[in-house]
Each structure stands twice: as structure tokens, then as C-alpha cells.
Amino acid sequence: MTVSASDAPAVAHFRFFELEVLRTRRLGHSFLRVTFGGESLADFRSGGYDQSLSLFLPLPHQEHTVLPSTDEDTWFAAWRGVPDEERPVMRSYTVREQRRIPDGTDGSVEVDIDFVLHGDASPASAWAGRASAGHRIMAIGPAVAENKSVRFQPPAGTDALVMYADETALPAAAAILERLDAGLPVTAFFEVPHADDRLELATRADADITWIVREGSGPGRTEQVLAALRGAAFPDAGTPYGWIAGEAGTVRAVRRHVVQERHFDRRAVRFTGYWRLGASEEQLLAEAYAGQAPSEDPNSAL
């Protein structure tokens, strides 16, 4: 009997994982790295680059995350049905690094996730600030490396890369830089809140990095970013690729600059709004599930 691709069982790209905090390390004024382990991570398959996942964080009075359901068909309704004062907080993050640690015959897996700290202003920052070894959270993450949550997908023949990231996207940008081919021309603009958030970033690429230090600037932040871009020389390339991620309003402005003023093919510019000034993540989550999230289609309107 001939079996076609449509007869094959569907591959579950994502599943639930239990993550246990192994250790934490402060990276700069605003960044804290949390290293997770746990038996379930043996099946975790980060695709690298800007791999994203969803974390479920306990509330301040809870030590660990407990979900009412991890069934793929019922978990969302069950989670939404938990009273507000008890419902774990869901937040999207990127994997900074996944590695296998030799330990016996099978080894063990560690996953690093970098958090931006700004006190108790957000549930994720509040949780990360008090995280310690042994705390457990739940996550929906990749079970296969080739999955739709890896957005960095430069086409074949790409001969230069232009990047923009704010602090929320810097961990993804750092992971991308580490995986680039030696000698690839890269022009990167990284926006951070404080001067000592300028991290040492490893790369084999030929990277020219401009740090944009915000130091608390508010409404003018987008103008500050655009001024840096307009004052910079972009690589002379035939098929450049753009990767833009961070606050949604600034991301739109940077994309418009790259396409309209630098004449990039819009189909070769990947842009992602990680957050939006003035909107809570609960609001953004509701918009996403209602089908109202802004389009990331490269052909969408500028």
C-alpha cells in the first residue's frame, strides 16, 4: 500500500515542559539569566536563533506553577477559567541557549532564558527577581527544531544582515549573532535602558554594533533609534536581509526606514513586535487569540 504525506501522523511541534530553576546570574543593570533544567527538557528541541516559547509564571504568593490542564485540546480554556488571583501568568520569551551537559549515559539539558528586570512593574520581572534554585514553572516549547516560532529565516544567498533589537529582543539577537557564518557583514542597532546593559556579544560575523542607550527617555525613543539608523552606513550588498524586533511602534518605524529609505525588498525584512508601549501583555494576548494581532506578513502595509 502506498502511503502519502497526508496519511502520516501529525507532528506535534510544541508541548508542555516543566522547567526547574537551577541557578540565576545577573548580566547587567537590566538583565538576569535564569538557567533551567528538568527531566522533560530531554525532549526540548530549540531551533536556535530567535526560538520563542510561552512561560507560565506563578503569582507572588505561589512557589511553583500549577496548571489545571496540559492537554493540547483543553489547556487554554482550563487556564482561562482559573480565577484571576490564582491564574499563572503567561509570557512569551526567547531561548538564549540550549545545551546538553554530559551526565551519565544520556546527559542532561539546560536552557537559558534572559529576563529584563524593572522591579515589580511586570509579573515576569517580579518573578525573575525572586527566582531561586528549585522553583518550578511550566512552559509550552518546541518539540521539533523546525517550527514556526523561529522567525529568523534569511533566504539563500543573503550576503548582509541588518538588525534592530531593544532590550526585550536582545537575547534573541545575541543568539542569532552567535550562529552566523564567519565574515558575514552585519550592521546592528541595539537599544538598551542603561549604559551597563551593553553586553559582550560573541560572533564570527563581521559585525558593526551600535548601542543606543535610552537612559529613561520616553516618547522620543523611536526618534532616537531612527537618528542612529539614518546616521549609519549600511553594508553594500546585493541581497541583504533585515531582522527587526522590539516595541511594536519602533519596529514599524524601523521597518519603514529600511524598506523606503534603504530600499530593502520588504519580503526580506522580518519584523516582530514583542510588546507595545501602553498595552499590557494580557491585552496583546487577547488580541492575538481574537485574531486582531498586527500582521507580520512581509507584504503587509508599511
Residue 188 CA to residue 242 CA, distance in Å, equals 10
* Sign of the torsion angle spanned by Cα atoms 87, 92, 278, 131: positive
Please tell me the pTM assigned to this model.
Answer: 0.90
pLDDT of residue 1: 34
What does each of the 302 residues of the chain score in pLDDT, given as a tens digit?
333 334 444 558 999 999 999 999 999 999 999 999 999 999 999 998 999 999 999 999 999 999 999 998 999 999 999 999 999 999 999 999 999 987 655 569 999 999 999 888 889 999 999 999 999 999 999 999 999 999 999 999 999 999 999 999 999 999 999 999 999 999 999 999 999 999 999 999 999 999 999 876 555 889 999 999 999 999 999 999 999 999 999 999 999 999 999 999 999 999 999 998 766 666 766 666 665 566 677 777 77
Instruction: Please name the residue ranges forming H helices in 217-277.
Output: 221-230, 248-256
183 and 211 assigned to the same domain: yes
pLDDT of residue 217: 56
115 and 169 assigned to the same domain: no
CATH of the domain at 228: 3.40.50.80
Contact in structure between 225 and 189 (CB atoms under 8 Å): yes
209 and 264 assigned to the same domain: yes
pLDDT of residue 211: 97
277 and 166 assigned to the same domain: yes
Residue 23 domain flag = yes
What pairs with residue 208 in β-bridges? Answer: 187
Full residue range of the structural domain in which residue 76 is found? 14-142
Residue 112 CA to residue 37 CA, distance in Å, equals 9
Q: Which amino acid is at 193?
A: P
132 and 32 assigned to the same domain: yes
> How many residues appear in the chain?
302
Residue 5 domain flag = no
217 and 272 assigned to the same domain: yes
Q: Provide the number of structural domains found in the chain.
A: 2
pLDDT of residue 6: 41
CATH of the domain at 112: 2.40.30.10
